[in-house]
Amino acid sequence: MPTTVVWLRNSLRLHDHPALTHAAERGGVVPVFVWAPDEEAPWAPGGAHRWWLHESLDALGRSLQEEGSRLVLRQGTSLDELKAVCEASGADRVVWQTRLAPALRRRDEAVREGLEAAGVEVRTFAGRVLHDPEQIRTGSGGPYRVFTPFWKKVRAQLDPGDPLPAPDLGGAAPATWPESADLDALGLTPEAQDGVDWAGGMRETWTPGEGGAAERLDTFVSQQLLHYDEERDFPAARGTSMLSPHLHWGEVSPRQVWAAANGWVSNGVTREAADAFLFEIGWREFSYHVLHHFPHMPDAPLKEKYERMPWAHDDDALRAWQRGRTGYPLVDAAMRQLWHVGWMHNRMRMVTASFLTKDLLVRWQDGERWFWDTLCGGDLANNAMGWQWAAGSGADAQPFFRIFNPLSQSTRYDPEGDYIRRWVPELSALPTKHLHAPWTAPPEVLEEAGVTLGETYPHPIVDHKEARERALEALKQVNV
Ligand code: FAD
């Protein structure tokens, strides 16, 4: 019976996994994960990623065991470990789901060459995205840089088909199981990383793994999808799916999400509601499309003239933003939500990114890196797309001169102040009228609420009006 190694990276699931299904149909299956963060530099998994990965590998290992299989964990150089696993198990083929991040693509190509040179066959399978970035082209044959025509074209020809069931792995054990490292030995947990358990909020919020992903998807499509369009902009509501980390780690495939949302259309959800959600899945497709064709997107502006932006290089401002101490309650609430649960609401991502790059004039790459380190679902394509969108330099970006006013965003999207009160509890006793801009509250109101500006909560670190003018002045150097 031929044996196949399934090399897992961010496809940590059993369902709808074409590479795994192929391996199971062929004979023996050896699922392998190799921890090799140096190969992913400069975008190796961040701190929150590592916490999630530990939990997700744990869940996957248990699922595989229930199916009569195992998860083989290795640490070292991917090529060497895969060759060793093939040798130990007698596998003659290695398969994996195609990876689209630039460092992973380069690494995978080198691994393919190395395996083939060693006489091991390699096959790769799609599944990370719904479209094939090489097949979707503009009329003139190039890649898309604008979302609307891209999505129109993709949707017109999209036929992802039904998700695959989990393969039967019961009789697919290899003749010999290769050795596996202990999960704890990979050192992914916060205690192992820096000796501090900062993951409490993440543990309360998430259930990493395929089971947790399936439950979240099911709850979302059955209970929230119908109201997605009306509620998705309000951070205090549970209006969005919170699937991003599950999608990032491949605990659920985009095809499964696509099928689940469409499956509810005749079941109480309107076509419009489903489409509003699938439109966002479309942005995910677009991010990957652009990353595939412009692999420098995470590091450099897509519009080159933005290289001329005279950034402020202000470490104090960056630190205040990272810690949720800018003095703007909505911005601070969002940054603290991010730190606490490893996720931030989409509108808040736009608000905080605008605040960093425009009000504070700090480089978008610094914000992108912070998100990468703190988001459980920090995703190279979506993160770079989001930051370049906010900073005006990306594909189909918001123009730089459109600068969010943090106060009007606050009164509009958190009108009752529930989100601010949840994440900035030292302001919770302030009346809603003054909550969005505590520095405008009369002294007796602040006193009654137990707020002392500069002590219990910071003064605003910039004046928005002045900061806006400074940003527009800076923009002139981009547009010379
Ligand atoms: P939902 O609204 O339920 O959307 C469902 C899925 O669609 C998401 O899980 C995501 O995969 C995709 N999606 C939604 N909005 C977008 C978008 N604007 N661009 C691309 N895909 C989208 N998303 C990430 O997955 N990882 C990131 O690291 C990331 N960084 C971002 C940084 C900035 C500055 C901005 C503005 C956006 C970023 N996004 C990122 C996109 C978006 O904010 C998140 O995908 C979304 O908030 C995740 O919450 P959700 O799963 O509840 O989204």
CA of residue 87 to ligand 1 center, whole Å:
41
283 φ/ψ angles, rounded to the nearest 5 degrees: -65, -35
Question: From the candidates 249, 343, 387, 423, which is the catalytic residue?
Answer: 387
What is the CATH class of 304-478?
A: mainly alpha
Q: How far is CA 107 from the centre of its chain?
A: 21
Q: Whose CA is nearest to atom 47 of ligand 1?
A: 346
98 φ/ψ angles, rounded to the nearest 5 degrees: -55, 135
Question: Which pLDDT belongs to residue 238?
Answer: 86
Sign of the C-alpha dihedral computed for residues 173, 178, 182 and 185 taken in this order: negative
Question: From the candidates 121, 311, 405, 439, which is the catalytic residue?
Answer: 311
C-alpha–C-alpha distance, residues 472 and 465, integer Å:
11
Average predicted confidence (pLDDT) for the chain: 96
Question: From the candidates 280, 405, 426, 439, which is the catalytic residue?
Answer: 280
**Domain limits, the chain:** 1-127, 129-160+207-293, 304-478
Q: Which two tokens stand for residue 343?
A: 């996720």
Note whether 20 and 81 are within 8 A (CB): no
The question of whether 387 is a catalytic residue gets the answer yes
Cβ burial, residue 337 (10 Å; 0-12/13-18/19+): buried
32 φ/ψ angles, rounded to the nearest 5 degrees: -130, 135
Tens of pLDDT, residue by residue over 235-252, are 999 899 999 999 999 999
Q: Whose CA is nearest to atom 20 of ligand 1?
A: 284
C-alpha–C-alpha distance, residues 460 and 257, integer Å:
41
> Residue range 449-472: average pLDDT?
98
Place 78 in a pLDDT band, splitting at 50, 70 and 90: very high
Note whether 412 and 436 are within 8 A (CB): no
* Cβ-based neighbour number of residue 395 at 10 Å: 23
Question: Which pLDDT belongs to residue 130?
Answer: 97
Question: If we measure between CA atoms, which residue out of 139, 73, 126 comes closest to residue 100?
Answer: 126
Question: If we measure between CA atoms, which residue out of 111, 50, 45 comes closest to residue 78?
Answer: 111
The question of ipTM being above 0.90 is answered as yes
Q: Is residue 480 pLDDT above 90, yes or no?
A: no
Note whether 48 and 55 are within 8 A (CB): no
Tens of pLDDT, residue by residue over 186-228, are 999 999 888 999 999 999 999 999 999 999 999 999 999 999 9
Tens of pLDDT, residue by residue over 307-360, are 999 999 999 999 999 999 999 999 999 999 999 999 999 999 999 999 999 999
Examine residue 208 and say whether the peptide bond preceding it is cis (omega within 30 degrees of 0).
no
What is the CATH class of 129-160+207-293?
A: mainly alpha
C-alpha–C-alpha distance, residues 1 and 54, integer Å:
32
CA of residue 368 to ligand 1 center, whole Å:
13
The question of whether 134 is a catalytic residue gets the answer no
C-alpha–C-alpha distance, residues 320 and 328, integer Å:
11
C-alpha–C-alpha distance, residues 117 and 359, integer Å:
54
Note whether 329 and 427 are within 8 A (CB): yes
Question: Which pLDDT belongs to residue 352?
Answer: 98
- In the block, tokens 């998705």 appear at 232
The helix/strand/coil state of 242 is coil
- In the block, tokens 């519009």 appear at 303
Identity at 332, one-letter amino acid code: D
CA of residue 334 to ligand 1 center, whole Å:
15
Q: Whose CA is nearest to atom 11 of ligand 1?
A: 244
- Greatest alpha-carbon span in the chain: 80
The helix/strand/coil state of 134 is coil
Note whether 307 and 296 are within 8 A (CB): no
Q: Which two tokens stand for residue 262?
A: 């469409």
The question of whether 423 is a catalytic residue gets the answer no
- The reported pTM is 0.97
Question: Which pLDDT belongs to residue 392?
Answer: 96
The question of whether 311 is a catalytic residue gets the answer yes
- What CATH architecture does domain 1-127 belong to? 3-Layer(aba) Sandwich (3.40)
Question: If we measure between CA atoms, which residue out of 401, 259, 414 comes closest to residue 334?
Answer: 414
Note whether 209 and 245 are within 8 A (CB): no
Tens of pLDDT, residue by residue over 256-305, are 999 999 999 978 899 999 999 999 999 999 999 999 999 999 999 999 99
The question of whether 466 is a catalytic residue gets the answer no
Element (H, E) at 18: helix 18-26
The question of whether 198 is a catalytic residue gets the answer no
Residues with CB under 6 A from ligand 1: 232, 240-244, 247-248, 280-281, 283-284, 287, 346, 349-350, 353, 371, 375, 377-379, 382-383, 385-387, 389-390
Question: From the candidates 198, 264, 346, 405, which is the catalytic residue?
Answer: 346
* Cβ-based neighbour number of residue 441 at 10 Å: 20
Residue 123 has what DSSP assignment? E
